Chain A
Amino acid sequence: MSPSKHIVILGNGIAGITCARHLRKGDDNIQITVISGESKYFFSRTALMYVYMGHMKFEHTQPYENWFWEKNRIDLVQDWVEKVDFEGKKLYCQSGKTITYDQLVLATGSKPNKFGWPGQDLMGVQGLYSKQDLELMEKNTESGVKKAVIVGGGLIGIEMAEMLAYKNIEVTFLVRESGFWRNILPEEESEMVRRHIREHHFDLRLNTELEEIISDGSGKVKAVKTKSGEEIPCQFVGLTAGVSPNIDFLKGADLDLDRGILVDQLFQTNLKDVFAIGDCAQFREKPDKNRNLIEQVWYTGRMHGETLAQTILGKPTPYKPGVWFNSAKFLDIEYQTYGQVPANWDESQVSNFYWEHSSGKVCFRMLCDSDGRILGVNNFGFRLRHEFFDKAIREQWSGQKVIQNLDKANFDPEFFAPYISAIQRTYAEENNITLKISKPSFFQRLIGAKL
Chain B
Amino acid sequence: MKYIQLIGLTLFLTGLLAFTVIPFLGEYTISEGIVLDNTKDIHQEKMKELLAPMYGKEYSSSFSFIRELNQRVDNYNSELKAESRWDQVIWDDYSFPLAKASLSSPVQNHPWLFLFVSIGLTVLGGLFYNLPKFKGEPEGIKNNGIFHSKMKNRGWLGMLTGSYLILFYVILYWFPAYMVNLVWMVEPLSLILSGNPASQWFLYGLIYTLAILVMGVRMFRKYKGNRYQQIRTASVMFFQTAFAFLIPEILVLLNQPYFDFKNIWPLDYSFFYDYRIETLTSSGAIGMFMLIWGILLIVVGVPVFTYFYGKRWYCSWVCGCGGLAETVGDPYRQLSDKSLKSWKIERYLIHGVLVLAVVMTALTIANYFSAFSFLGNVTNQLHSFYGFAIGSAFAGVVGTGFYPFMGNRVWCRFGCPLAAYLGMVQRFKSRFRITTNGGQCISCGNCSTYCEMGIDVRWYAQRGQNIVRSSCVGCGVCSAVCPRGVLKLENGPEEGRINDMPILIGNDSVKLNA
Q: Which chain A residues have a beta carbon within 8 Å of chain B's beta carbons?
A: 14, 22, 44, 46-47, 50, 53-57, 60-63, 65, 166, 196, 199-200, 298-299, 302-303, 306-307, 310, 317-323, 325, 327-329, 331-332, 334, 336, 383-387, 390, 411-417, 447, 449
Contacts and interface: CB of A to CB of B under 8 A. Distances in A.
A60 B451 CA distance: 12
Interface in B238-288: none
B483 A54 contact: no
Contact of A14 (B140, B443, B481, B489): B443
A55 B442 contact: no
Interface stretch (B97-105, B214-222, B344-352, B503-511): B503-511
B483 to A, nearest CB: 4
Nearest to B490: A414
A329 B485 CA distance: 9
B61 to A, nearest CB: 45
B480 interface: yes
Interface stretch (B142-150, B159-167, B298-306): B142-150
A305 B413 CA distance: 37
A60 B488 CA distance: 21
Contact of A53 (B145, B442, B508): B145
A413 B476 contact: yes
A50 B139 CA distance: 18
B438 A307 contact: no
Given A65-B340, A385-B438, A414-B489, A390 B144 contact: no
5 closest A-B pairs by CB: A386-B438, A332-B140, A383-B485, A47-B444, A54-B148
B156 interface: no
B449 A55 contact: yes
A319 B483 contact: no
B443 A322 contact: no
B6 interface: no
Contacts of A317: 509-510
B484 A336 contact: yes
B509 A327 contact: no
B407 to A, nearest CB: 14
25 contacts: A44-B443, A44-B444, A44-B445, A50-B143, A54-B144, A55-B481, A56-B147, A56-B445, A56-B449, A62-B445, A63-B445, A63-B459, A306-B510, A306-B512, A317-B509, A321-B506, A321-B509, A329-B484, A331-B140, A336-B484, A386-B438, A386-B505, A387-B438, A390-B438, A447-B227
B446 A56 contact: yes
A325 B484 CA distance: 12
B190 interface: no
B147 A449 contact: no
A337 to B, nearest CB: 10
A321 B507 CA distance: 5
B200 interface: no
Contact of B507 (A53, A57, A322, A415): A322
A119 to B, nearest CB: 31
Contact of B440 (A321, A327, A449): A327
A447 B505 CA distance: 34
B228 A414 contact: yes
A161 B4 CA distance: 29
A319 B274 CA distance: 70
B464 to A, nearest CB: 9
A108 B342 CA distance: 35
Interface residues of B, number: 49
A54 B231 contact: no
A57 B140 contact: no
Contacts of A14: 443
Contacts of A331: 138, 140
B367 interface: no
B102 to A, nearest CB: 51
Q: Chain A CB within 10 Å — which of B139, B140, B506 has the most? A: B506
A166 B145 CA distance: 8
A44 B144 CA distance: 19
A302 to B, nearest CB: 8
Contacts of B484: 327-329, 334, 336
B228 A416 contact: yes
Interface string B474-496: 00100111011100110000000
A396 to B, nearest CB: 15
B506 A322 contact: yes
Contacts of A63: 443, 445, 458-459, 462
Contacts of A415: 227-228, 231
Given A53-B144, A65-B340, 18 more contacts: A47-B442, A50-B445, A54-B143, A55-B147, A55-B449, A62-B445, A63-B443, A199-B138, A306-B507, A306-B509, A317-B510, A325-B506, A332-B140, A334-B483, A334-B485, A336-B484, A390-B505, A413-B479
A413 B483 contact: no
What is the predominant secondary structure among interface residues of chain B facing chain A?
A: loop
Contacts of B438: 325, 385-387, 390
B195 interface: no
Contacts, number: 160
Contacts of B140: 331-332
A410 to B, nearest CB: 9
Interface in B123-154: 138-141, 143-149
A448 B507 CA distance: 40
Contacts of B476: 413
A55 B488 contact: no
A323 B140 CA distance: 30
A46 B442 contact: yes
A336 B485 contact: yes
A297 to B, nearest CB: 10
Contact of A47 (B141, B228, B445, B504): B445
B510 A332 contact: no
A328 B484 CA distance: 6
B227 A50 contact: no
B509 A318 contact: yes
Interface string B455-472: 000110010000000000
B448 interface: yes
Given A60-B449, A325-B439, A413 B145 contact: no
Nearest to A57: B147
B84 interface: no
B226 interface: yes
A56 B483 CA distance: 13
Interface in B400-452: 435, 437-440, 442-446, 448-449
B448 A60 contact: yes
A447 B442 CA distance: 33
B143 A307 contact: no
A449 B227 CA distance: 8
B452 to A, nearest CB: 15
Contact of B442 (A57, A166, A298, A411): A298
B449 to A, nearest CB: 5
A303 B507 contact: yes
Nearest to A14: B443
Nearest to B340: A65
A103 B483 CA distance: 37
B64 interface: no
Nearest to A63: B443
B339 interface: yes
Contacts of B485: 327, 334, 336, 383-384, 411
Nearest to B483: A329
Nearest to A394: B508
B157 to A, nearest CB: 15
Contacts of A412: 488
A62 B459 CA distance: 11
A44 B488 contact: no
Contacts of B439: 299, 302, 325, 386
Contact of A390 (B139, B141, B506): B506
Contacts of A50: 143, 444-446
B509 A320 contact: yes
Contact of B488 (A22, A334, A383): A383
A314 to B, nearest CB: 13
A447 B504 CA distance: 35
